[in-house]
Amino acid sequence: MITKELEEIKASGLERRLTVIQGAQGPVVNIAGQQTLLLCSNDYLGLASHPALKTAAMMAVERYGTGAGASRLVSGSMEPHHALEERIARFKGTEAALVFNSGYQANLGLITALASREADIFSDKANHASIVDGCILSMAKVRRYPTRDINALEKLLKRSSARTKLIITDGIFSMDGAIAPIKEIASLLGKYNAMLIVDDAHATGVLGASGRGTLEHAGVHDPSVIQMGTFSKALGSFGAYVAGSKQLIEILINRARPFIYSTALPPAICAASIAAIEIIEAEPERRERLWQNVSLFKRAAQNANLDTMNSLTQIIPIITGDTTMRISKALLDKGIFIQGIRPPTVPHGTSRLRVCISAGHDPEALKKAAWVIKETCNEFN
């Protein structure tokens, strides 16, 4: 059965493979002995190998050891988890927060805790797979609306008579870099008695004047909006959070199965995440450098006539269609690593190179990369 399944995957051209990187994440990495420009990492602020995060983690290992022992409800809840929750709640400006082991688990836990069979969930069609899976697990009725289409969302809300109405959207969409219309969505909440979850996985540390995420960017100050996000992308660490009211956190501790039934994050990881939040607050210049690099690359890509869709952010797709994986491979041979993204991650006919820009990239290298991408695309089309 497995052999047949694998053959089918290969025959459909959708086989996934791992590319080994020697050493740490960074703007340039070593792949098979070649210095390679890394243009597909979510380490947007270059914190994944920052000395302050490493030191914080090493000191926490000395003090707390490596493992958390069990779920926090079973073997005791360690200080670093609480310290991180206080720190991220302060950063996000919410009453409270709860740490999860990953963004994937946070979405599963959050959605299933809030929505059951009787609920209606309104989910943007471009939402991340972890939201899709959380919706399925919840067994609620799921109404998917065309991405960022506020009119379509309102029509669905109007038709719903469910007592629990839950709207869910990525803040920055992970595969096309567009930004959700949060202000418009938030304006519907009172009228339709709906709740809103914003997935800030790619927006935490990136969007907003001080990097607090999509709500700050949109100027939305509604404390009822539930924010989840990860420590694994711009914060260069690992794990995730849900930030909101104290009551929300209480219900998650009681109902979110990935929180209840999984061993907690290693305490050292929490210490690294705290160090990352400190840096994000203390060094706004990192975010400024990121946005300068984003503008520069976009200009270079546009000059090279590359199609970057609706991206407004550090995630910049380049639509390359059926030849995506061959282009990705050819670029790797030329010293540029950009992962190709294919269905089912993105809709059929929209396979793409997903470029991710970091504050750590050298501007000259980015300019040159845009031209190399163009030249390589031309070789295959």
Ligand X SMILES: Cc1ncc(COP(=O)(O)O)c(C=O)c1O
The correct pick among 46, 103, 109, 258 for binding ligand X (CB under 6 A) is 103
130 lines the binding site for ligand X (CB under 6 A): yes
104 lines the binding site for ligand X (CB under 6 A): yes
Q: How far is the CB of 111 from ligand X (least distance, A)?
A: 12
Stretch that binds ligand X, among 54-62, 82-90, 180-188, 195-203 (CB under 6 A): 195-203
Q: Choose, from 50, 92, 128, 202, the residue flagged as catalytic.
A: 202
Q: Choose, from 81, 128, 233, 298, the residue flagged as catalytic.
A: 233
- Alpha-carbon distance 295 to 288, whole Å? 11
- Range 220-239, binding ligand X (CB under 6 A): 230, 232
165 lines the binding site for ligand X (CB under 6 A): no
Active site residue 174: yes
Q: How far is the CB of 204 from ligand X (least distance, A)?
A: 11
97 within 8 A of 249, measured Cβ to Cβ = yes
199 lines the binding site for ligand X (CB under 6 A): yes
The correct pick among 201, 235, 256, 274 for binding ligand X (CB under 6 A) is 201
- Alpha-carbon distance 275 to 57, whole Å? 9
Q: How far is the CB of 233 from ligand X (least distance, A)?
A: 7
- Alpha-carbon distance 259 to 102, whole Å? 10
- Alpha-carbon distance 31 to 33, whole Å? 5
Q: Residue 93 phi/psi, 5° resolution?
A: 70, 35
108 lines the binding site for ligand X (CB under 6 A): no
Q: Please say which residue, 177 or 267, places its beta carbon nearer to ligand X.
A: 177
- Alpha-carbon distance 221 to 213, whole Å? 12
The correct pick among 170, 205, 237, 317 for binding ligand X (CB under 6 A) is 170
Q: Please say which residue, 201 or 275, places its beta carbon nearer to ligand X.
A: 201
DSSP strands (E only) in the chain = 28-31, 34-38, 96-100, 120-124, 141-145, 165-170, 195-199, 226-230, 240-244, 315-319, 336-337, 340-341, 352-356
In sequence order, the β-bridge partners of residue 305 are none
231 within 8 A of 278, measured Cβ to Cβ = no
308 within 8 A of 316, measured Cβ to Cβ = yes
Active site residue 329: no
The correct pick among 128, 165, 287, 361 for binding ligand X (CB under 6 A) is 128
Q: Please say which residue, 194 or 235, places its beta carbon nearer to ligand X.
A: 235
Active site residue 348: no
- Alpha-carbon distance 303 to 213, whole Å? 30
Contacts with ligand X by CB under 6 A lie at 102-104, 107, 128, 130, 170, 174, 199, 201-202, 230, 232, 240
**Residues labelled catalytic:** 174, 202, 233
